[in-house]
Structure 1
Amino acid sequence: ARDIGKIAVENGLSLSQILKSLTFLRTVIWDVFTEELQQRKFAPITMLDVSKIIDPFIDEINHIFVDIYEAHNHEQMKLAYMALEELSVPMVPLSKGIAVMPIVGQIDTHRAQLIMETALEESAKLQLNYLILDISGVLIVDTMVANNIIEIVKALQLIGTKAMITGIRPEIAQTIVNLGIELGTIHTKATLEQALAEIGFSILN
C-alpha cells in the first residue's frame, strides 16, 4: 500500500482514483471468499470471522493511502507558502552596491522576521552598501511594526549596509508621532527618488 500510494502520487493520480481501485480490490477478495464458502460449504459464522480480518485489513490500506496523500498535500502547500513568502519580500538590485526592498501589505511578527532574514542574507550576498526599505505599500504602522523596522535597520548596520526608509505617508508619520515612537538615527526620505539622489544614483537622460 505504501509503495502503490507513492507511485500514485508521483504519477498524479487523485486520491479518489486510488480509493476506487481499493473498492475493486475489496470486491475481488469477497468474491473469492464467497466462492470458497459455496464450494466448501463453510458455515456462515466462518464468513463473519473472515470479515473481522479482511475488513480491518482493507481499512488499514485505506488509511495508508490517505496518510500518503495528506503528507504529499502538506508538502506541496509548504512549498507554495515558501514561494509566496519569497515573493512577499522582494529584493530589487539597482546597481552595484545598491538595492531596494519594496514592502507591501501587513507586517506581522512572522513576516517581520522574514524581512529581517531576507534583508541580511541578500545584503551580504550582494555586498550592498545601501539598502532602501520602501514602505509606501504598508497600510498600518504601529509600535510593533516600527520597532521591527528599527531592528532591521540596526542589524543591517552591523553587517556594513546603510539602510534608508522611504514611503512614510503623512498619516503614518502622524501615527508614529502620536505613539511616541523614536526612530532615532534612522535615515528617512519621502520618496524612493529622493533616497537614490542622496546616495548619488541618478538616471542619465
Structure 2
Amino acid sequence: MADTYLEPTLKNLTDTILEQRVDLAKSITKKQNKRYERLEALEENLLELRIELVTLYGESLSMTIEERQERIEHWGTKTGKACAEMGISLDSMLREVPEYRTAIGNIIKETAIAQNYSLSNLYDVLAILDRTVDDVVYYFCLPFVEVQTQTLKASQDQMLEMSVPVVPIDAGVAVLPLVGTIDTHRAKLIMEESLNKCLDLNVSEFVIDLSGVAMVDTFVAHKLFQVIDSLKLIGVKPKISGISPEMAQTIIQLGLNFSDVPSYATLKSALKEIGFEKTK
C-alpha cells in the first residue's frame, strides 16, 4: 500500500499525467513513425494502445503495489499479444520505453519544482515510476515472445513439410526427392509423409532420390530402412536413386545391406526402369 504521506502527491501527479496523456501518446507516435516508417500504417491502433499505456503509468502512481501489479500484468498480456500479431518488431516497441520514462519523468520534475516536493518525496515517486516501467516491459515481452515463438515454429513446421515433397508423376508412381541434411525430426516427417501420400495417391512404385543428400551415415541409413520396410508393408515397391560412389562405399563400410532394394545411380535411370522413356 502507498505510504500515507505520499498519497496527495501521487494523486496530483496521476491527474496531471492523465490530462496530458493524449498529447504525450501523439508525441511518441510521431517519433516512432519517424524512426520506423512501417509503423505509420498501424498508427491508429498504436496511438490507442499508447494512450492506454500513458493512462496506466499515470494511474499506477496512485495504486497499491498489488493493484499496480494486477493492472500491468493484464495490460501486458493483452497488448504484447496484440502487437506481436500485428507483426511489429520487439526492438521497435522497446525503443519506446525511454520515451515514456523521460516524458513522465519530466512531468514529475516540473510538478515537483512547482509544488516544492521534498527530495525524499521526489525519490519515492521516481522509484515507483522505475518499477512500473520495468514491470510494463516484463509483462509486455512475455506474451510478445510467446506469440513470435509460436509463429516461428509454425513457419519451421511448414518449411519441414515442404522439405519432404512427395511428387506424383503418373498413376501409381511417385518420387520423393530429398535435399540437405536428415535429422531426427525430418526423418520422422519423411516416414509420415511417404506412407500417407502413398496411401492417398494409391502409389505402387515409389522412388526415394538421394541425389541432394550430402551424407548417409548410420542414422540416415537406418531411417531409410524403416521407411522402405514400412512401404513394403502397405504394398508399395520402393526404389532408391542418386546413390553416389562415395555414398555406396559408406553404406558398405557401415555393413548395411540394400541388396533387396532396387537402387540406381540417377533418378532418370530409376524412372526408365519403371517404364518412363523420353519421348522423341
TM class by shorter chain equals 0.7 to 0.9
From 218, 238, 248, the equivalent of 1:163 is 238
Decide whether the 8 Å contact of 2:84 with 2:148 is kept in 1: no
User: What is the aligned partner in structure 1 of residue 117 from structure 2?
Assistant: 42
1:110 to 175, 178, 185: 185
Matched residue type, 1:182:
N
Of 144-153 and 194-203, deviating more is 194-203
Seen in structure 2, the aligned counterparts of structure 1 residues 12 and 191 have a Cα distance that, compared at 3 Å, is closer
Q: CA deviation at 1:164?
A: 0.8
Is 1:123 aligned to 2:179, yes or no?
A: no
- RMSD after superposition: 2.4
Q: Secondary structure at the match of 2:155?
A: helix
**Deviation per CA, 1:22-57, whole angstroms, max 9, x where unpaired?**
323223332333344334433211122222222111
TM-score, L = length of structure 1:
0.85
Corresponding residue number in structure 1 for 2:98: 23
Identity score, percent: 37
> Which letter does structure 1 place at the counterpart of 2:254?
L
Deviates more, 1:94-103 or 1:114-123: 114-123
The answer to which of 125-134 and 36-45 deviates more is 36-45
* Secondary structure, aligned partner of 2:260: coil
Higher deviation after alignment, 95-104 or 134-143: 134-143
Separation of aligned partners in 2, 1:115 and 1:199:
22
SS at match of 2:207: strand
Give the Cα separation in 2 of the matches to 1:4 and 1:178. Answer: 58
2:240 match: secondary structure: strand
Residue aligning to 2:265 = 190
Q: Deviation digits for residues 60-93 of structure 1, max 9, x if unmatched?
A: 1112333344234323332332233223222111
In structure 1, which of residues 149, 157, 160 is the aligned counterpart of residue 224 of structure 2?
Answer: 149
The whole-number CA distance in structure 2 between the counterparts of 1:64 and 1:151 is 47
Within-5 A mapping of 1:172-191: 172-191=247-266
Q: Pick which of 91-100 and 19-28 moved more.
A: 19-28
Higher mean C-alpha displacement, 113-122 vs 35-44: 35-44
Q: How many residues are aligned here?
A: 205
CA distance in 2, matches of 1:29, 1:137: 59
CA distance, structure 1, for counterparts of residue 214 and residue 109 of structure 2: 69
Distance in 2, Cα, partners of 1:143 & 1:25:
58
Partner SS state of residue 275, structure 2: coil
Which runs of structure 1 show a deviation greater than 6 angstroms over 4 or more consecutive aligned residues?
A: none
TM-score normalized by the length of structure 2: 0.64
Cα distance in 2 for partners of 1:10, 1:148 equals 38
SS in 2 for 1:186: coil
Paired amino acid for 1:175: T
Aligned twin of 2:17? none
**Matched residue of 2:96: which SS?**
helix
Q: What is the CA distance between 1:99 and its match in structure 2?
A: 0.6
- 2:163 is equivalent to residue 88 of structure 1: yes
Answer yes or no: is 1:137 the counterpart of 2:198.
Answer: no
Residues 132 and 164 of structure 1 are in contact (CA less than 8 Å); yes or no, is this contact kept in structure 2?
yes
Which secondary structure does the structure 2 equivalent of 1:127 belong to? coil
Structure 1 position 203, deviation (Å): 4.4
